[in-house]
């Protein structure tokens, strides 16, 4: 079976550039990914950070939809605890109305931010928001799948603006609990290996306990991984210094835009122990196509995944495009 490649884009903001530049780069990369034959292009939701620009995936998805015609597009993900399920259902129904059956709605439970930012996103700040994610998800699915009981007080609201075309709903996760929910509800599951590299057993538990749904009779796992490819191992590791510096500082609570390579190389040399600690917490596949491809194949096999979503962050936009291009060529993903 041919391994499918997809993109998970975090819209990185580089030092000296703006959030607008990062978002325009995301649109450009989506066009490039479509031309290269990638299966889907998801954009992530993050708040309150100078490093990642996409605070509203639905806005960026709309722009990417207008710039592409074939590739599946969607969220990776929408952080549902911040929002009304009805609002999310209506928004993605509109996207489906505009762009047909190529819209994915991947849902996450994580805040995509620090606790203070999550609190600032609340409409009612008199108390902390309730931890009612399963109820939120059930309501969202009732709208999207048009399964709201006719006796429910919100039944008439299930007539969504996009009509009969509905987004495909996924659940995101990086922990065992998300796998439990995805299996119980019968949703496809995207596991963030780039956050938690210990997900193989979690994915296996999901498969073993999967309850078939009308929309998804079989379990499905996509592994989201961090990879950076260049012509040589040496060049790829040089380019990866920017992300290593940014994420080392991120884990220390210091938020910065993605730094230039030369600045990052100096940091990596001076803080080798901290960077090594990052490597123990996060899985990085970095190198030439000959190095990275076997690593991706092995990881996909461990997860039993027929598709991987690749996260890549570089200082230079052209280097990020080239990384996805080299991987597409290596896997014969070109359309």
- In the chain, where are the structural domains located? 4-231+286-330
Domain 4-231+286-330: give its CATH architecture: Alpha-Beta Barrel (3.20)
Does this model's pTM top 0.75? My answer is yes
Q: Are 229 and 289 in contact (CB under 8 A)?
A: yes
Mean pLDDT of 54-69: 97
Residue 24 CB coordination number (10 Å): 16
- Identify whether the C-beta of residue 15 lies closer than 8 Å to the C-beta of residue 257: yes
**pLDDT classification of 335: cutoffs 50, 70, 90:** very low
Supply the pLDDT for residue 216: 96
Find the helix packing angle between 133-144 and 176-185, rounded to 10°. 40
303 vs 306: CA distance, rounded Å: 9
Q: Tokens in use for 259?
A: 């730094």
> Which burial class, exposed, middle or buried, applies to 201 when counting CB atoms under 10 A from its CB (0-12, 13-18, 19+)?
exposed
Interval 166-176: pLDDT, tens: 999 999 999 99
Report pLDDT for 45. Answer: 95
Q: Which pLDDT belongs to residue 155?
A: 86
Q: pLDDT (tens digit, 9 = 90+) per residue, 87-132?
A: 999 999 999 999 999 999 999 998 767 788 888 888 887 887 778 8
What distance in Å separates the CA atoms of residue 59 and residue 335, rounded to the nearest whole number?
A: 27
Which run of H or of E encompasses 6? strand 4-9
- Residue 276: its pLDDT value, please? 86
Report the pLDDT value the prediction gives residue 244, as an integer from 0 to 100.
95
Cβ atoms of residues 54 and 44 within 8 Å = yes
Cα 189 from Cα 172, distance rounded (Å):
6
Query: What's the pLDDT band for 2 if we cut at 50, 70, 90?
Result: confident
Residue 68, classed as helix, strand or coil, is coil
333 vs 31, more confident:
31
């Amino acid at each position: 079976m041919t391994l499918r490649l997809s993109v998970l884009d975090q819209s990185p903001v580089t030092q000296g550039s703006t959030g607008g530049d990062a978002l325009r780069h995301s649109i450009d990369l989506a066009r490039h990914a479509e031309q290269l034959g990638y299966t889907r292009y998801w954009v992530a939701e993050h708040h309150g950070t100078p490093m990642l620009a996409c605070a509203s995936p639905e806005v960026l998805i709309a722009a990417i939809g207008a710039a592409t015609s074939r590739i599946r597009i969607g969220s990776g993900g929408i952080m549902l605890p911040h929002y009304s399920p009805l609002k999310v259902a209506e928004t993605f129904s509109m996207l489906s109305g505009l762009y047909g059956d190529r819209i994915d709605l991947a849902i996450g439970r994580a805040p995509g931010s620090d606790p203070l930012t999550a609190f600032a996103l609340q409409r009612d700040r008199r108390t902390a928001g309730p931890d009612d994610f399963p109820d939120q998800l059930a309501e969202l699915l009732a709208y999207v799948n048009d399964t709201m009981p006719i006796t429910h007080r919100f039944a008439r609201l299930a007539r969504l603006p996009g009509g009969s075309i509905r987004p495909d709903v996924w659940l995101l996760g990086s922990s065992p609990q998300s796998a439990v929910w995805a299996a119980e509800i019968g949703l496809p599951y995207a596991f963030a290996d780039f956050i938690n590299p210990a997900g193989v057993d979690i994915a296996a538990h999901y498969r073993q306990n999967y309850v078939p749904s009308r929309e998804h009779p079989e379990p499905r796992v996509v592994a989201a991984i961090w990879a950076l490819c260049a012509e040589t191992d040496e060049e790829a590791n040089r380019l990866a210094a920017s992300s290593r510096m940014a994420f080392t500082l991120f884990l220390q609570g210091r938020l910065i835009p993605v730094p230039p390579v030369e600045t990052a190389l100096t940091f990596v040399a001076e803080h080798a122990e901290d960077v090594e600690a990052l490597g123990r917490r996060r899985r990085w596949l970095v190198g030439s196509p000959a190095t990275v491809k076997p690593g991706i194949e092995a990881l996909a096999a461990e997860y039993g995944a027929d598709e991987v979503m690749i996260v890549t962050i570089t200082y230079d936009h052209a280097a990020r495009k080239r990384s996805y291009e080299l991987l597409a060529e290596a896997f014969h993903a070109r359309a």
